[in-house]
Structure 1
Amino acid sequence: MKLTSAAIILLSASPAKGQDATFEPGNFSEGNKLVDSVTGGTLYLANGLQAVPVGHSGQKVVLADDSQSSIEYHANCDGGAAIPQADGGHIYVSNSEVGSYPDDLSGGVYALTFDGENKLQEYKQLLSGTAYNCHGGETPWGTWISCEEFRDNGRCWQVDPTGQKAPARTAITGQSMDGSSANEMFGAWEAFAWDADDKKGYVTNDDYPTKDVSKTYPDHVSQSYQGAVVRFSPDETALACLDAESDADKWCVLESGTVDYLKVVPSSEAGASGNFEWVSDKSEANPELYAASEGAHVEDGILTFTSTLEGYLWRLDLAAGTYTRSACPFASESDNLRILGGVVYLCTGKKLSLFPYCLRRDISCPSSWHLMLLPCLLYLFIRLAIADDDDNPGDALWRWDDKGASRMFYEVGHSYPAGVDFTLDKKVMYVSMYGDATYQVTRTDGLAFDAEPKSITYEVDGGIADGKTHEEIADQVAAIAVGVPAAEEASTGEATPEKPAGEASGAASNAVAGTIVGIITSTLML
């Protein structure tokens, strides 16, 4: 029995500026899909999208001249970026999140090189000898920062996408360049974002303030377990590197400076907005309020990042020192993100993810924390008992604007999206299905992704500026967790343009289950 995909469907007519637009985020009525014979997964695409694989994990890459790469495509392709080149082409760099210190240093960074006509010319490895390379970020001088998500040894590396310059460590998380410091600051580093206006870098940390008290940790490990978001400020010597004529000579921007840590100061108990400051003492930071921070992006003076432990999206006004925090009601594990034209493109979902309440593991659980088990177990029972385990619509790439959220695509298989980015002309979107493959996604109308779509179907109400908390949307979160359709659809089980007939069956039973979960969640969590 299939679970349907949306709990709230709001169809917003948004006429395109150009009448030829075909892209309709959130609308899957045309049955547009890509069946990948190599991975066994099916990629369901919104109307007006098309996708082609450019690399399959464990397979050699087929180049434009029909030859094959000398090495196989990397496993667990995670964070990535499409970095423009002087010849009009681009290089898509991608992390490999495998390995473990100290015995398995099989991670690294790989690159797909495309010419100005988007023809694939080369596939090669850029960084080796590392482990669990998760996400990272691009610099204005055309390098890729690859972050290792490994608590005891994680570092952030600077990588030349062309491979002409050898990779090097950075100092952006407080580490020494040569590793000689006795008090290295390692961590489960995630994403890097550079503020070109203020000339500072930001690094997220996929960790939360807890550790095994039965184990003895070196000083650097106990510090890194704090999980705080880091701000890197280059010193005068490093800032002088920005004046170099060659991009290759700007690497030193990230080689020396100071680091500070994020402390948020909520304006109310709900914590949906407030102020923030950067503190030099890690112990003064409060990462328990933004635990397990992941995707990050800086645009127009706003630092946007996710905290996946409870499914929040944070927006920090770097100049004003204020923040807003919005719940992600459509997914419990929001991960990689990119912002284009004011729209957040957010990768979400991991197999059998529970909705955010089930992920509360912070150190300040309410006294009735044990009651959380009831809705969580009920949800898990529903997922296992009546759902096709391969059908997890939460494993999706979402388009989130100031009105609500719409799916771009979702996968039915055994993977989830990562590494989203756009080429310089914004016409090609890259995304990897973690562990499986990397795809190029384009609009069938040939327009850029920041061009107005034909229409938008908002599957989840509420925009990124709403600052809602999970408590305020408990019913919505619980309903979406089990894929309950809107009430009027559930009563009939009939197909709608947004819900094909094949997905209509079982709607009533799912609605009942969702109502139970919603009532329990609302009662216990509010």
Structure 2
Amino acid sequence: MDRRTVLRATVAGGAAAFSGSLWAGAALAAPAQPGPGPYGELLAPDGNGIQLPAGFTSRVIARSGQRVAGTWYLWHWAPDGGACFPAGDGWIYVSNSEIPLVGGASAVRFLADGTIAAAYRILGGTNVNCAGGATPWGTWLSCEEVPLGRVFETWPDGSRSAEERTRMGRFTHEAAACDPDRRVVYLTEDEGDGCFYRFIPDTWGDLRTGRVQVLCAPADQVAGPVTWRDVPDRDGFPIPTRHQVGAAKHFDGGEGCWYDRGTCWFTTKGDNRVWAYDAVNQRLDLAYDDSLVPAGAAPLTGVDNITGTAGGDLYVAEDGGNMEINLITPAGVVTPFLRLLGHSGSEITGPAFSPDGTRLYFSSQRGTTGNSTGNGGITYEITGPFRH
């Protein structure tokens, strides 16, 4: 029996377990399957080389190594994970830089009409800042994707210097997602045998102290209950955190992470999966797996960064694949939302919606050049009739 058949049988057995806490109250009967999206087919590429549905438009916000329009700030190399934050009557988009030694993160501030008001650095001198996550108190967690990597808490408005949060664990960090209901922060690990963690701060809103736990379940489980156990040594040396708890479940390359109303969605690039952790009932399920799609029909591969909307739609970026952002609806339909042409040597990173949900930001990390340094990276804004 091949992997596809085994997975179908396993998932079918656990499908009924999806509860009302998942997907904003909508029960998911099975992992998402291809189907028509809510916005229709993609049109011919626009002037920026992006295929979008009718009614949507794109603009370039910044290019690596060049001044952000209307400012003197040079946009960073290799833009990666990002998020948006309210700022007065406008908003701020922050973006990591996945570059060794100088990494860090930058921010672009927008006025209410979308005009760029300023651009500036909020973190510097760190190492391969890949993804991260926003906190409910308005800070950005920037994560280092290196062995013994750290988490840095940053202030998008630049009002405070970034602060290291090593109590959140030293490992190959990828993304973070805050769960204000259980007052924990979920963390992914970008290793072929990485783990899924949660940080429990001693005081919610203060990430300086607390404990790290790892999700535990049978190695072959794709649907079912899970438990959490403390990681004995969060510093990960000499024994990496992922190897300290024998019952820990390992995932093939943890990537994006997004929390919404009782569910933490996270992705794994090695097996092209989107996982759903039901925090209410402490169980794990599959929201998408390309092995569960008819052969050759999977629209989403190279699964990477993830974000969501207030209406429950998930937007999943591709690292490779055919350079798309795919939409997964609460009804369990997966479909392309946009496609970049001529960016085959790049990856899509940092998808994030403006606070009002009308604009989507993301980057092509290496653009059409395929280069992490120089003028390769491009950061975009998509405007249109997004459903809420």
TM > 0.5 between the two? yes
1:228 aligned to 2:195? yes
Please tell me whether Structure 1 or Structure 2 has the larger radius of gyration of its CA atoms. Answer: 1
- Written as runs of structure 1 = structure 2, the 5 A alignment for 1:12-161 is 24-25=39-40, 27-28=41-42, 30-31=43-44, 33-36=45-48, 42-63=49-70, 68-69=71-72, 71-85=73-87, 87-99=88-100, 105-151=101-147, 153-161=148-156
Counterpart amino acid of 2:54? N
1:331 aligned to 2:300? yes
More strand by share: 2
Q: Assess, with a 3 A threshold, how the Cα gap between structure 1 residues 10 and 89 changes in structure 2: closer, same or farther.
A: closer
Counterpart amino acid of 2:91? H
Q: Distance in 2 between matches of 1:200 and 1:287?
A: 19
1:428 Cα deviation after fit = 0.8
Q: Distance in 1 between matches of 2:387 and 2:247?
A: 37
Q: Which runs of 5+ in 2 are unaligned?
A: 1-32, 232-243, 291-297, 367-376
Counterpart amino acid of 1:338? T
The one of 159, 163, 188 aligned to 1:168? 163
Deviations 1:47-103 (A, max 9, x none): 22100001011211111xxxx42x321111100011111x2111100000011xxxx
1:284 aligned to 2:246? yes
Identity %: 28
Counterpart amino acid of 1:408? F
Q: Distance in 2 between matches of 1:9 and 1:195?
A: 29
Partner of 1:416: 347
Deviations 1:431-467 (A, max 9, x none): 1111221111011xxx4x224xxxxxxxxxxxxxxxx
Q: Assess, with a 3 A threshold, how the Cα gap between structure 1 residues 301 and 10 changes in structure 2: closer, same or farther.
A: closer
SS in 1 for 2:245: helix
Q: Is the 8 A contact 1:84 1:90 kept in 2?
A: yes
1:294 Cα deviation after fit = 0.9
Partner of 2:22: none
Partner of 1:396: 324
- Written as runs of structure 1 = structure 2, the 5 A alignment for 1:84-483 is 84-85=86-87, 87-99=88-100, 105-151=101-147, 153-171=148-166, 173-174=168-169, 186-209=170-193, 227-235=194-202, 238-239=203-204, 242=205, 253-265=206-218, 271-281=221-231, 282-288=244-250, 290-325=251-286, 326-328=288-290, 329-340=298-309, 341-350=311-320, 394-401=322-329, 402-414=331-343, 415-435=346-366, 436-443=377-384, 447=385, 449-451=386-388
Q: Distance in 2 between matches of 1:149 and 1:10?
A: 34
Q: Is the 8 A contact 1:172 1:201 kept in 2?
A: no
1:330 Cα deviation after fit = 2.7
Aligned residues: 322
SS in 2 for 1:79: strand
Counterpart amino acid of 1:92? Y
Partner of 2:295: none
Q: Is the 8 A contact 1:228 1:285 kept in 2?
A: no
Q: Assess, with a 3 A threshold, how the Cα gap between structure 1 residues 98 and 285 changes in structure 2: closer, same or farther.
A: farther
Q: Distance in 2 between matches of 1:264 and 1:399?
A: 29
Q: Is the 8 A contact 1:144 1:158 kept in 2?
A: yes
Q: Distance in 1 between matches of 2:280 and 2:229?
A: 16
Task: Give the TM-score, by structure 2 length.
Answer: 0.79
Deviations 1:272-310 (A, max 9, x none): 31111111243224343x221110011111111011111
Q: Is the 8 A contact 1:344 1:399 kept in 2?
A: yes
Q: Is the 8 A contact 2:34 2:335 kept in 1?
A: no
Q: Is the 8 A contact 1:173 1:230 kept in 2?
A: no
Q: Distance in 2 between matches of 1:416 and 1:313?
A: 17
Q: Is the 8 A contact 1:396 1:416 kept in 2?
A: no
Task: Give the TM-score, by structure 1 length.
Answer: 0.59
Counterpart amino acid of 1:405? V
Q: Distance in 1 between matches of 2:281 and 2:360?
A: 32
1:264 Cα deviation after fit = 2.4
Q: Distance in 1 between matches of 2:51 and 2:146?
A: 33
Q: Distance in 2 between matches of 1:11 and 1:168?
A: 45
Q: Is the 8 A contact 2:299 2:335 kept in 1?
A: no
CA RMSD of aligned residues (A): 1.9
Q: Which runs of 5+ in 1 are unaligned?
A: 1-7, 15-23, 37-41, 100-104, 175-185, 210-226, 243-252, 354-393, 452-526
Q: Distance in 1 between matches of 2:140 and 2:167?
A: 13
Deviations 1:4-55 (A, max 9, x none): xxxx97447x6xxxxxxxxx24x02x42x2334xxxxx22222221000010
More helix by share: 1
Q: Assess, with a 3 A threshold, how the Cα gap between structure 1 residues 10 and 406 changes in structure 2: closer, same or farther.
A: closer
Q: Is the 8 A contact 1:265 1:274 kept in 2?
A: no
Q: Distance in 2 between matches of 1:83 and 1:206?
A: 26
Q: Is the 8 A contact 1:77 1:97 kept in 2?
A: yes
